[in-house]
Amino acid sequence: MPALQRTEARTRARLLQVHGYRIDLDLTRGETVFGCTTVIRFGSAEAGAATFLDLRPQTLRRAVLNGTELDPAALDGNRLPLTGLLAENELLLETDQNYSSTGEGLHRYTDPADGEVYLYATCGPDLAPLVFPCFDQPDLKAPLAIAATAPAGWTVLGNGAGKQVAEGRWEFEPTLPISTYLFTVVAGPLHSVYSEHDGIPLGLHGRRALAADLDREAVELFEVTRASFDRLHELFDQRYPFGRYDQAFVPEFNWGAMENPGCVVFAEEMLFHSAPTEAERAGRAMVVAHEMAHMWFGDLVTLRWWDDIWLNESFAEYLGFRVAAEATRFTNSWSGFAVKRKGWGYDADQRVTTHPIAANGLESVAEAMSNFDGISYAKGAAALRQLVAWLGDEAFFAGINEHFARHRFGNAELAEFLDVLAESSGRDVHGWAESWLRTSGVDTLRVQVAYQDGGERIASAELVPTGSRPHLVGLGVFDLADDGRPVLRESFEVEVGPGRPTALPQLAGAPAPALLLPNFGDLSWAKVRLDQTSWRTVAAALSRFEDPLTRAVLWEHARDLTRDGELPPSAYLDLVAAHLPGEPVDAIVEAVLTFGRLRLLPYLAPAERPAAEARLASAARELLARPEADQGLRQAALKSAVENASGPEQLAELEQWLAEGAYGQELSAALRWAALLRLTVHGVIGAERIAVELAADPGVTATEGAARARAALSGAEDKERAWQSLFDPASGLSNAQLTATAQGFWQSGSEQLQDAYLERYFAEIPAAGGRGDIVARSLGSHLFPAGRSTPEAVALAERTLAEGELTPVLRRVLADQLDDLARAARIRG
Ligand SMILES: [Zn+2]
C-alpha cells in the first residue's frame, strides 16, 4: 500500500480544487464496521484529466462520478482511479469502514468497567482514508460537513458546531476550509461539562466512568483554557476562527493530544485518575496551550508537505511552554522544558538518525512520520526561543501576524515563513535559518579561564564554541556565600560566533568565581562544559542554587556528562544521593529519577543494578521523609520508591503499602499496579494474585497493569504466552495492551531464557512493520531489549538493521534504540 509521495501530492494540488465534503457516518452497524457515505465536490483545472482518490475501506460498495457508476473492483490498494474529470465534479462513495483497535482511524473502545462503547477518530498524518474517502494531503483544504447516526443516548462531537436533530441523528455545520488530517468525531455516552469564554463556547468531555475526574479537573482545565485564549489573542491579530472549542479526553490514545480544529482530543490520562504531581499539571497546561496554538499554526495556516512538520510542532511547542509560563499559574514551565523536554531532543540530535529541524526533503508521508520526534518538537522550540531572543518579541510577532494574514485558510512552507520574519525584523533571518534549521547536531559551549594573583582573580576568560551556529547566550557568574550557598554575582548576554572563541572582557580582573555557567537562562540549544572549579561547585552545591531553572540546566548538564561517558554512573548516583532529597521542584525530581531508572541502569552490569536501584529508592525515601515535601514531590518520590524497591525488606514494605497505604495515603491505581509489577518481577506474587486484583477494580489502569504484570511472570510458559500475544496479529491486543505487555516482558526471566528471546526478537521484529506504524513503534521501542547492553545484543541489532526488510518507521525506531544500546554497552565497557 504505497504512501503518498510529495510529487504526486504536488501534481494533484495543481489539478484539483476541493469545494467541500459531506461525510455521513453510520455508527449503528455493530462491533467491526461502520458505514460511510461521502460526497465530494471538486473542480479540475483540466477537462478530461485523471487523478486518484485515497480510501481504505473494508468494502467499497458504490462509487459514482458525475452520475456515472464506477466499478468498485477498480480500487487499487488504497487508491481509486478517477478519469475523465469535468471542470466541476461530484463524487459519491458508499463504503463500509473498519473500526480500529490501534488508535489509527476510528478507534472503538469498550469500557471494561461498565461495557459502554466509545469512539474517536485520529486522522493524522495520512489516516483519514481509514475513516472516509478523500484527497488526503494537507494542501487540499475544504469545508467538512459531518453527519452521524449513532445509538440512542450517545453524544457525537465533531469539528465545529453540531446538534442532535432527531433521536440518534447528529448534524454539524460545515467547517471553514481545513485539511483532511484534522477531521475528527468523538462519540459515546460521554460525560460533558460546558462553559463559555469571550464568545467561544467551551466543552470538556470524557468517558462516563471518569465523570468524577472530569468534574474535578474541569475547574483547572477551563482556567488554563481561558488564560491561554486570552494570551494568544493578545499575541495574534487574528482571533480564534473555528467557533466552538471542545476538548475530549479519550482512552488508548497514542499521542498526548491532537489539534483537530474545534475538537481537540487528549489522552484521558490527563484527567489524572491518580493524584498528579505539580509537574504533571504543568505538563497538561502546556499541552492545552500547545494544541490551542495549533489552531493558528497548523490549522489556520498549514504546512504544504510533511517535511515541514516542525512549522506545526516547534511553534506549538514554543508557545505551549511560553503561554503556560506567562498566563497560567505554572510560571516554572521553562524549567520543565530544560530538565525533561530538551533531554528528549538532545538525545535525538546526537543519534545517527538525527536530521535538520526543517526541510529535510522527505518525499513520502511514511518517512515524515518518523520525524515526530524530539528534534521537531523540543529542538525546534529551543531554536524558536533562540530566534525570539535574537529578533525581539515585536519583530517576531509582527512577522507571525503577517504570515497568518497572507496564508489564512491556506498553506505555507519554510521559505514563506522566513520571508515575513526577515521583512519584519530587517535581520538576516535566512542566514540564521541556514545555520539553525538546516543543520543537525548539538554545539558545545566550553568556558576557559586563566587566573592571576595566585588564583584570586581572573586574568582572562573566553567562551569556546564548537559547531556551526551563532548563539546568543546568557552567562551566569556565581560566588559562594559563607554558608556554602551559591549566590548569583551577575549575569550578562554574549553573542558567540560559529566556532570562534569569544573573549569575555567583562570578567577580566574580576575576583575568581565559584561557577561560570554558560547558557544561563537556557536560551540556546547547546551542551555546556564547565571549568574544573565550576564543576566542583556544582557537585558540592547543586541543590542549593536558588533559581529552579539554573538547577534544571545543571541537572541536564550532569545527565549529558553521564551519557557521554565523562561522568561515571556512580558519580551521577552520588549527585542524586547528595542533592535530590533537597530538591523542591517535582519536575526536576521526576526527570532525575526517570533518567536513573530507564537510562542509567543499562549503563551498569546486571550485577550492579540492584545496588543502583537501592540508591535511587533511598533518595526517594529520604524525600518522602521530609516533612515540608508537598503532595507533588511525594507522588514523584513514592513512584520511584515503588519502582526501584528491591531486597526482602523493601518488597515486604510494598505489600504493607498495598494493604494500608503509604505515608498516610492510599496508593492510587497506577501505583498499586506498579507495586504489583515489582512484586511479580521478584517472584513474590503470581498469576492468581494478578487475577484477584484485576477483578477487584477492572478499569483501564488495571487492564494495562495486569497485562504488564502477566508479561513479567518469569515462568517459561508465561513468557511464551506473552510473546505469542505480542507477535501474533490475531491476538487482538489493543495498542495500549500491546505496549503494556511489551513493557513487562524483559523485567524477569533467567539469563538463558532472555538470551533465547533476544535472538527471536531480532528475527521476528521486521515482520511487525506490516502491522502498521503504531504496532511497529510499540514493539520496536517498548519491547526492544534496552537492558541487554552487551556487544552480542548490539551485533544482533546491527545485523537486523543491515539485512532486515524494514518499514521507514520501524527502521527509524530500531536505529534509535540501537544507538542507545551501543552507547550503554560502551559505557558499561
Ligand atoms: Zn503538536
DSSP string, 46-108: STT--EEEE---SEEEEEEETTEEEPGGG-BTTEEEE-S--SEEEEEEEEEEE-BSSSSEEEE
647 Cα: distance to centroid of ligand 1 (angstroms): 43
Any idea what the Cα angle at residue 133 is, between residues 127 and 138, rounded to 5°? 55
370 pLDDT exceeds 90? no
Q: What is the mean pLDDT of residues 97-113?
A: 94
Cα separation values, 763 from 749, 760, 797, Å: 20, 5, 10
297 Cα: distance to centroid of ligand 1 (angstroms): 9
pLDDT grade for 372, boundaries at 50, 70 and 90: confident
606 Cα: distance to centroid of ligand 1 (angstroms): 38
Q: What is the mean pLDDT of residues 528-550?
A: 97
- Whether 726 and 742 have beta carbons less than 8 Å apart is answered as yes
688 Cα: distance to centroid of ligand 1 (angstroms): 42
Among candidate residues 424, 422, 407, 505, the one with its CA nearest the CA of residue 462 = 505
Among candidate residues 368, 359, 354, the one with its CA nearest the CA of residue 816 = 354
pLDDT grade for 112, boundaries at 50, 70 and 90: confident
For the stretch 803-813, pLDDT in tens is 989 998 999 99
Alpha carbon 164 to chain centroid distance?
Answer: 35
255 Cα: distance to centroid of ligand 1 (angstroms): 10
635 Cα: distance to centroid of ligand 1 (angstroms): 27
Cell of 562: 553521564
172 Cα: distance to centroid of ligand 1 (angstroms): 25
Q: What is the mean pLDDT of residues 390-407?
A: 97
313 Cα: distance to centroid of ligand 1 (angstroms): 5
361 pLDDT exceeds 90? no
299 Cα: distance to centroid of ligand 1 (angstroms): 11
320 Cα: distance to centroid of ligand 1 (angstroms): 9
673 pLDDT exceeds 80? yes
Question: Could you tell me what percent of the chain has a pLDDT over 70?
Answer: 100
Give the model's pLDDT for residue 465: 94
For the stretch 290-318, pLDDT in tens is 999 999 999 999 999 998 888 899 999 99
Give the model's pLDDT for residue 663: 87
**Higher confidence at residue 708 or residue 497?**
708
pLDDT grade for 615, boundaries at 50, 70 and 90: very high
pLDDT grade for 359, boundaries at 50, 70 and 90: low
372 Cα: distance to centroid of ligand 1 (angstroms): 9
Give the model's pLDDT for residue 111: 92
Long-range pairs, 620-623, Cβ under 8 A, ≥24 = 620/593, 620/644, 622/580, 622/581, 623/580, 623/581, 623/583, 623/589
Q: What is the mean pLDDT of residues 780-795?
A: 96
Strand blocks (E) in 198-298: 200-206, 245-250, 257-258, 263-267
Q: What is the mean pLDDT of residues 96-117?
A: 94
718 pLDDT exceeds 90? yes
pLDDT grade for 627, boundaries at 50, 70 and 90: confident
Q: What is the mean pLDDT of residues 164-181?
A: 97
Give the model's pLDDT for residue 196: 98
Burial class (CB in 10 A: 0-12, 13-18, 19+), 268: buried
827 Cα: distance to centroid of ligand 1 (angstroms): 34
pTM value? 0.94
523 Cα: distance to centroid of ligand 1 (angstroms): 21
Give the model's pLDDT for residue 276: 86
pLDDT grade for 444, boundaries at 50, 70 and 90: very high
699 pLDDT exceeds 90? no
290 Cα: distance to centroid of ligand 1 (angstroms): 6
Q: What is the mean pLDDT of residues 93-105?
A: 96
Average pLDDT, the chain: 95
pLDDT grade for 360, boundaries at 50, 70 and 90: low
Beta strands 68-70 and 59-65 are antiparallel
426 Cα: distance to centroid of ligand 1 (angstroms): 29
592 pLDDT exceeds 80? yes
Q: What is the mean pLDDT of residues 570-593?
A: 96
Element spanning 670, H or E: helix 669-681
Residue 466, helix vs strand vs coil? strand
For the stretch 18-43, pLDDT in tens is 999 999 999 999 999 999 999 999 99
323 Cα: distance to centroid of ligand 1 (angstroms): 14
160 pLDDT exceeds 90? no
106 Cα: distance to centroid of ligand 1 (angstroms): 20
- DSSP assignments along 741-752, one per residue: HHHHHTTSS-HH
Give the model's pLDDT for residue 1: 60
Catalytic residue ranges: 291
Strand-pair partners of 465: 445
Sorted by sequence, the CB contacts under 8 Å of residue 98 that are 6+ apart come out as: 32, 33, 58, 105, 130
Q: What is the mean pLDDT of residues 228-251?
A: 98
